[in-house]
Amino acid sequence: MKILVLNAGSSSLKYQLIDMDTEVAIAKGGCERIGIDGSFLKHKSPKGEVVIEKAMPTHKEAISLVLETLVSKENGVLNSMDEIDAVGHRILHSGESFTSSIILTDETIAVCDSNADLGPLHQKANLTGIAACRELMPTTPMVGVFDTTFHLTMPDYAYRYAIPNEYYEKYKIRRYGFHGSSHRYVSTEARKFLGNDDVKIVTCHLGNGSSMAAVKNGKCVDTSMGLTPLAGVPMGTRCGDIDCAVVEYICDKTGKDVHEVLNILNKKSGVSGLSEVSSDFRDLRKAKNAGNEKARLALDSFTYGVKKYIGSYAAAMGGIDALVFTAGIGENDAVIREEVCTGLEFLGIEIDKEENLIRSDAPVHEITAKGGKVRVLVIPTNEELVIARDTKELVFGK
């Protein structure tokens, strides 16, 4: 069985074709600059890597090119499109309308559309991709997997903001959280690895966007992102948690309007704003090592933020049995992992510093120090596989 996983952004489209017998991607790639001059497709398969430049005014041309490439003689991995048994789409926001993944129909898509206000840019792009795909593959079953649903098990006192009730009742303003497929994947893998379902895990998804989750016995009980992905730890370019009165203060001082300030908090803040160097942790480390004080501050502010969430989630769950690192920084940056864990010995978190430096291909790499009470694991995330598994289950059963 083969499942195509699609993730449509505003000007991009990422894809993976996954063989569900092996759960391995047989081809993957992405289209960039959709709707802009100079659009191209990057495609990787056992036949090699190719870049195809072609005009893609809309997502329809992009998906069409992906499908053409998947069946092409030179670069393809399929004899015909009929070999694609189903398509799984990533969708940003479920709102409170869905608590798990869904079969995409006119009705369910209309509900997704009604939630678009909760994440206008992403949700609209996701839905544009879905519409184009349905047009091109009208008989292929399709599933939507949300970034938010894993977190919908949070108790009300964790997801409600202490603001007047009417904002929740009328507009559904609350904490939702994101990166749900990633937190779900790594916490599931961790539970399998530990051979125990009854565990308290803190998952750290540290990438361009970073988020934390407290997962107790397989259910998310808290997460760091909020109504939008702006909240939580400081990120590449997002500020993370700040006093919301800062927004009014910047508006008053600079004459900027709320939208401009929010744009700055989303795109010009975080470690990039603090360091004035880069949002990439490799550049920040180089700059810090060369004596750049602002890069030092940015890195310290990031590790301090992550550390504080680990402590608060240990408190939220009444303890912590495992700590999981994932995503670009979590999987690759051994120094950040060490800095995050240093000082958390009082919680029972201790890592083996040498093991931490080893680059491992293992699906789960344990870096716990001998005698460490909390199991510390590095688990490469695989959001596409979560989408493919849900798609398979919803369309063809378990």
Residues noted as catalytic: 147
Burial of 340 from C-beta contacts in 10 A (0-12 / 13-18 / 19+): buried
209 in contact with ligand ADP (CB under 6 A): yes
Q: Which residues pair with 203 in a beta bridge?
A: 213, 324
- CA gap 284, 295 in Å, rounded: 5
Instruction: Pick the binder of ligand ADP from 225, 274, 323, 329 (CB under 6 A).
Output: 329
Q: How far is the CB of 164 from ligand ADP (least distance, A)?
A: 34
The residue count for binding ligand ADP (CB under 6 A) is 13
CB of residue 395 vs ligand ADP: minimum separation in angstroms?
26
- Is the CB of residue 64 less than 8 Å from the CB of residue 49? no
Q: Does 240 bind ligand ADP (CB under 6 A)?
A: no
Residue least distant from ligand ADP (Cβ): 328
Q: Could you give the CA distance from residue 324 to residue 28 in angstroms, rounded to a whole number?
A: 26
What is the H or E stretch that residue 326 is in?
Answer: strand 322-326
Binding segment toward ligand ADP, per CB under 6 A, in 98-106, 258-266, 326-334, 389-397:
326-334
Integer Cα distance of 210 and 205 in angstroms: 5
333 binds ligand ADP (CB under 6 A): yes
For the chain, give percent helix, strand, coil, nearest 5: 45, 20, 35
Give me the residues paired with residue 206 across strands: 210
Options 98, 159, 176, 281; binder of ligand ADP; rule CB under 6 A: 281
Is the Cβ of residue 209 or residue 232 nearer to ligand ADP in the bound state?
A: 209
Nearer of residues 236 and 372 to ligand ADP, judged by Cβ: 236
Considering only the stretches 48-56, 76-84, 201-209, 340-348, report the one whose residues sit in contact with ligand ADP under the rule CB under 6 A: 201-209
Site string for ligand ADP, 261-280 (x = CB under 6 A): ------------------xx
DSSP, collapsed to helix, strand or coil, labels residue 167 as helix
Alpha helices in the chain (DSSP H): 59-71, 106-114, 120-136, 156-159, 165-171, 180-194, 245-254, 258-267, 270-275, 281-289, 293-317, 327-332, 334-341, 353-357, 383-396
Out of 11, 12, 108, 208, point to the residue binding ligand ADP (CB under 6 A).
208
| Residue from the set 11, 312, 332, 342 that interacts with ligand ADP by CB under 6 A | 332
Among 110, 282, 363, 396, contact with ligand ADP (rule: CB under 6 A): 282
Query: For residues 55 and 362, which CB has a smaller minimum distance to ligand ADP in the complex?
Result: 362
Pairing label, strands 365-366, 375-378: antiparallel
Q: How far is the CB of 206 from ligand ADP (least distance, A)?
A: 7
Which residues contact ligand ADP (rule: CB under 6 A)?
207-209, 236, 279-282, 327-329, 332-333
